[in-house]
Structure 1
Amino acid sequence: MADFGFNEHHQNEIINYMRFARSQRLLRLKIIDSCFEELKDSRLVEETFTVDEVKEMLDGVHAVVRGEVEMELINTAHTNVVLLRQLFSQAEKFYLRLQSDISELENRELLEQVAEFEKTDFKTTNKTNQETHKPKLAPLNEGGVSELLNKEIARLQEENDKLKSRLRTLESQAMSVLDEKTKAERALKDLQRTQGDQQLSAQTKEISSLENTVAALKEDYERSLSANAATKKDLQENLITAKHELLRVQEQLSLAEKELEKKFQQTAAYRNMKEILTKKNEQIKEIRKRLQKYEPDD
């Protein structure tokens, strides 16, 4: 069998088209033969004809034959366009762009190769089977560009599925980190609240003690004032001194509170908690960057 560079399926498609073209050609030839037979039967009944009669008969046959040939050429061109339409429609479904070289249609070597193929390898059997079975165009699944395209589509789908799975994993990690951060912040607030309550309790006790002292001094002062007016000046000085002492103690308490807070910030628990929060914030920033890589904001 002549080799056109096609696989078996496409070779059979060419054979089917050549069968169709030959049947159309034979039909037109039969019509032309019938035109001449009709001329012989209807006009060639006399033994002699004049020049004008012969010319008239030839003109008539010429018109009929010319019309049949023209109709066959037009029908062949339209048939080829319909065939190309089927091929292009099938190619566009797979996003292919077919190209044709019109100059190759007059390539004598290729035309002779097709003629040789028709003479030696073109089979005319199984006409009945061909009439009853009209295969439709099937997708090109036997290698070539279509196979590469299908493989690329499958690869892209697989990669897309992997990216979706990766994205879901990152989202899960982000939610886990956010939960851990929330727990760490809650623990830090509880720790700060506990330390603050302890400091406030100590300060309240000391202030209460000082207030009791001031109240006792004031009571003594009033009692002494009522008992002995002479000691009024001394008691007033003691009261002023006590007030100054109270202010001094309050200032010391404030300094002690600041120092206590500073010491608390230097404790291992505070540093560990702060380090955990810092790491969690860095993890959240990294995950946000990775998320923006797969789903950038509009």
Structure 2
Amino acid sequence: MAELGLNEHHQNEVINYMRFARSKRGLRFKTVDSCFQDLKESRLVEETFTADEVSEVLSGLQAVSTARQSELINTAHTNGLLLRQLFSQAEKWYLKLQTDISELENRELLEQVAEFEKAEFTSSSKKPIIETMKPKLAPLNEGGSTELLNKEIFRLQEENEKLKSRLKTIEMQATHALDEKSKLERALQDLHLDQGNQKDFIKAQDLNDLENTVAALKSEFQKTLNDKTENQKSLEENLVTAKHDLLRVQEQLSMAEKELEKKFQQTAAYQNMKEILTKKNDQIKDLRRRLAKYEPED
């Protein structure tokens, strides 16, 4: 089967348009054939004709052929409507399509399309035609800024979820760092206690070595503690930044919701519903006033 180098959806759209154009073309051929057949049956009933009669017959055929010009114009307008649909959908997503008019006279591509049409409709005539749902074009009056605003809201919601996950991770890291700090402090206290208890049992020559070891441990512990403190400060700063980002995103979401509500209130459907409710309230008030005239006073 011949292919056009398109995906399945676009190729089906091309087939639908070619089926439409093929039916229109066949109808026009039948119209021209019927004109010649009517001419044969109504005018060509004699064996010989004068030059004036032949000229009159040819003038009639010329008039009929000229009338077919409107059908060619209509075909061009139909193609214009097809391009308008495609460009309208592209403009909805702020795309700019380009066409190469010179390719319309490319003999190789024209033959490829002809082979595709022949293969498609020859094979389709041998198998049952499956009706497909014809999708309707999305209305353009609901696109544009509203579509972009919805996408921006969706993006902000995703960013909000990511910030929440990041905030939770930072909180867990900060808690872990605090636990490590507490463990190190307890270990230092235990080391001091052990040092005090063992001073009575060690020899004088070993005391200097033990003090040096303790000093080294203190230095290493202080360095570790400083690193943990810096990490804690960094985590706290990241936590504050994440909270600010979360508040900013929530504010943007609130502004987006207000903008959507404002746009909805400006729509014709909202205005019509508001006008209907106002009229109904006026009618109810009028009915109550009328009913009060007939109710007895207490």
Q: TM (normalized to structure 2)?
A: 0.47
- Tell me which structure has the larger Cα radius of gyration: 1
Q: Report 1 or 2 for greater relative contact order, CA contacts < 8 Å, sequence distance ≥ 6.
A: 2
